[in-house]
Amino acid sequence: MDNQKIKQTLEQLHAELEAGQRPDPELRAILQTLAQDIHRALEQPATAPTDEGSLEDRARDVSAKFAAQHPYLEATLRDLMDGLGKIGI
């Protein structure tokens, strides 16, 4: 999965999120932070955050938090995690 595909997957995730039940403010903030960090890592891979774990690990954590309330997002989050792992972020 290339950078463009990851960006498209993020856009799809946001579209699905808007179309479904809105998450609580805490989960929404976590997802926004993750998305910002992914965009930053795609633009400047050398400055990818490492102190909070890999972005793939963080995406996995977000997926687990969303799974119960927003199961329709699970497949897209899984695609995102796979893509991040494939490009080494």
pLDDT at 45: 63
Helices 74-86 and 3-19 meet at what angle, rounded to 10?
160
Q: What's the CA gap between 23 and 18, in Å, rounded?
A: 9
pTM for the whole structure: 0.68
Q: What's the CA gap between 79 and 76, in Å, rounded?
A: 5
Phi, psi of 58 (to 5 degrees): -65, -40
Total domains in the chain come to: 1
For 57, the domain range is 3-86
pLDDT at 33 over 80: yes
pLDDT at 70 over 80: no
Could you read off the pLDDT of 35-68 as tens digits, one per residue?
Answer: 888 888 888 765 555 556 677 777 778 778 777 7
Question: Cα–chain-centroid distance for residue 35?
Answer: 6
